[in-house]
Amino acid sequence: MQDYHGYRHYQVTEPPVPIDVVAVYFTANFATDGEFFGHLGFQPDSHGDVFWQPLRAGRDRGVIGLHHLDGEPARGADSPDSPVGPATLVHLGFETSEDLQTVADRLRAAGHSDAAVVTADRLRAVHVTDPDGQALEIHASAAG
Protein backbone atom coordinates (compact mmCIF):
# COMPACT_ATOMS: atom_id res chain seq x y z
CA MET A 1 0.00 0.00 0.00
CA GLN A 2 1.52 3.33 -1.04
CA ASP A 3 -1.15 5.79 0.15
CA TYR A 4 -2.06 5.47 3.84
CA HIS A 5 -4.83 8.10 3.54
CA GLY A 6 -3.41 10.29 6.32
CA TYR A 7 -2.48 7.43 8.65
CA ARG A 8 1.04 6.56 9.68
CA HIS A 9 2.54 3.18 8.88
CA TYR A 10 4.15 1.40 11.81
CA GLN A 11 6.63 -1.43 11.46
CA VAL A 12 5.50 -4.12 13.90
CA THR A 13 8.39 -6.04 15.45
CA GLU A 14 6.58 -7.54 18.43
CA PRO A 15 4.30 -10.59 18.43
CA PRO A 16 0.62 -9.82 17.85
CA VAL A 17 -1.42 -8.65 20.83
CA PRO A 18 -4.39 -10.85 21.77
CA ILE A 19 -7.18 -8.48 20.72
CA ASP A 20 -10.61 -8.95 19.11
CA VAL A 21 -12.61 -6.41 17.14
CA VAL A 22 -16.05 -5.84 18.68
CA ALA A 23 -19.00 -4.42 16.74
CA VAL A 24 -21.24 -2.94 19.47
CA TYR A 25 -24.83 -3.27 18.28
CA PHE A 26 -27.40 -1.27 20.27
CA THR A 27 -30.71 -3.05 20.74
CA ALA A 28 -33.75 -3.23 22.98
CA ASN A 29 -34.30 -6.93 22.24
CA PHE A 30 -31.39 -9.31 22.79
CA ALA A 31 -33.49 -12.37 21.88
CA THR A 32 -34.62 -11.14 18.46
CA ASP A 33 -31.25 -9.75 17.41
CA GLY A 34 -29.40 -12.73 18.91
CA GLU A 35 -31.57 -15.03 16.79
CA PHE A 36 -30.83 -12.98 13.66
CA PHE A 37 -27.04 -13.09 14.22
CA GLY A 38 -27.37 -16.80 15.07
CA HIS A 39 -28.29 -17.41 11.42
CA LEU A 40 -24.84 -16.01 10.59
CA GLY A 41 -23.13 -18.40 13.01
CA PHE A 42 -22.81 -16.07 16.04
CA GLN A 43 -23.84 -17.58 19.39
CA PRO A 44 -24.06 -16.04 22.89
CA ASP A 45 -20.89 -16.09 24.96
CA SER A 46 -21.22 -17.18 28.59
CA HIS A 47 -20.13 -13.87 30.17
CA GLY A 48 -23.13 -11.73 29.20
CA ASP A 49 -25.69 -9.98 31.39
CA VAL A 50 -28.85 -7.86 30.97
CA PHE A 51 -26.84 -4.89 29.58
CA TRP A 52 -24.25 -6.68 27.43
CA GLN A 53 -24.29 -9.95 25.50
CA PRO A 54 -21.26 -10.89 23.39
CA LEU A 55 -21.91 -13.15 20.40
CA ARG A 56 -19.07 -15.20 18.91
CA ALA A 57 -18.66 -17.36 15.81
CA GLY A 58 -15.34 -18.88 16.82
CA ARG A 59 -12.23 -17.49 18.41
CA ASP A 60 -10.88 -15.89 15.22
CA ARG A 61 -13.99 -14.10 13.94
CA GLY A 62 -14.37 -11.12 16.26
CA VAL A 63 -17.36 -10.32 18.43
CA ILE A 64 -20.80 -8.78 17.98
CA GLY A 65 -21.70 -7.18 21.29
CA LEU A 66 -25.40 -6.67 21.87
CA HIS A 67 -25.65 -3.59 24.09
CA HIS A 68 -28.85 -2.62 25.90
CA LEU A 69 -30.11 0.68 24.46
CA ASP A 70 -30.18 2.57 27.78
CA GLY A 71 -31.43 5.70 26.03
CA GLU A 72 -28.97 5.80 23.10
CA PRO A 73 -30.46 6.17 19.61
CA ALA A 74 -30.72 2.90 17.70
CA ARG A 75 -30.64 4.47 14.24
CA GLY A 76 -28.83 7.28 12.51
CA ALA A 77 -30.54 10.21 10.86
CA ASP A 78 -32.47 9.58 7.66
CA SER A 79 -30.56 10.53 4.55
CA PRO A 80 -32.57 11.30 1.42
CA ASP A 81 -29.97 9.60 -0.79
CA SER A 82 -29.56 6.43 1.31
CA PRO A 83 -30.53 3.33 -0.70
CA VAL A 84 -31.29 1.37 2.49
CA GLY A 85 -32.98 3.97 4.68
CA PRO A 86 -31.78 4.98 8.14
CA ALA A 87 -28.57 3.30 9.24
CA THR A 88 -28.31 1.22 12.39
CA LEU A 89 -25.70 2.68 14.72
CA VAL A 90 -22.85 0.32 15.46
CA HIS A 91 -19.84 1.38 17.48
CA LEU A 92 -16.39 -0.12 17.02
CA GLY A 93 -14.59 -1.42 20.08
CA PHE A 94 -12.04 -4.02 21.10
CA GLU A 95 -11.55 -6.82 23.65
CA THR A 96 -8.21 -8.06 24.93
CA SER A 97 -6.84 -10.60 27.37
CA GLU A 98 -3.87 -8.29 27.93
CA ASP A 99 -3.69 -6.04 31.02
CA LEU A 100 -5.60 -2.82 30.21
CA GLN A 101 -3.01 -0.50 31.78
CA THR A 102 -0.32 -2.15 29.61
CA VAL A 103 -2.47 -1.47 26.52
CA ALA A 104 -2.93 2.21 27.46
CA ASP A 105 0.78 2.63 28.20
CA ARG A 106 1.73 1.08 24.84
CA LEU A 107 -0.70 3.33 22.92
CA ARG A 108 0.73 6.46 24.56
CA ALA A 109 4.35 5.31 24.08
CA ALA A 110 3.70 4.66 20.37
CA GLY A 111 2.35 8.18 19.97
CA HIS A 112 -1.17 7.10 19.05
CA SER A 113 -2.80 9.26 21.71
CA ASP A 114 -1.78 11.17 24.81
CA ALA A 115 -5.28 10.53 26.13
CA ALA A 116 -5.30 6.71 26.24
CA VAL A 117 -6.56 6.21 29.80
CA VAL A 118 -8.00 3.37 31.82
CA THR A 119 -11.37 4.25 33.32
CA ALA A 120 -13.73 2.36 35.58
CA ASP A 121 -17.09 4.08 35.05
CA ARG A 122 -19.47 1.13 34.70
CA LEU A 123 -16.85 -1.29 33.44
CA ARG A 124 -13.06 -0.99 33.40
CA ALA A 125 -11.83 -0.04 29.90
CA VAL A 126 -9.18 1.86 27.97
CA HIS A 127 -10.68 4.96 26.36
CA VAL A 128 -8.80 6.34 23.37
CA THR A 129 -9.51 8.43 20.28
CA ASP A 130 -8.63 6.98 16.87
CA PRO A 131 -6.90 9.03 14.11
CA ASP A 132 -10.32 10.04 12.70
CA GLY A 133 -11.38 11.47 16.06
CA GLN A 134 -13.72 8.58 16.93
CA ALA A 135 -13.89 7.43 20.55
CA LEU A 136 -12.95 3.76 21.07
CA GLU A 137 -13.16 1.51 24.11
CA ILE A 138 -10.95 -1.50 24.78
CA HIS A 139 -12.40 -3.89 27.38
CA ALA A 140 -10.93 -6.90 29.11
CA SER A 141 -12.15 -10.14 27.57
CA ALA A 142 -13.52 -12.95 29.70
CA ALA A 143 -10.07 -14.54 29.48
CA GLY A 144 -8.46 -11.22 30.64
- Residues 20/95, Cβ–Cβ less than 8 Å: yes
Beta-carbon contacts of 92 under 8 Å, excluding residues fewer than 6 positions away, are 21, 22, 23, 24, 134, 136
What's the pLDDT at 55?
93
pTM of the predicted model as reported, rounded to 2 decimal places? 0.66
Which residues share a beta bridge with 117?
127
As a whole number of angstroms, the distance between CA 20 and CA 65 comes to 11
What's the pLDDT at 43?
92
pLDDT above 90 covers a percentage of the chain that reads: 10
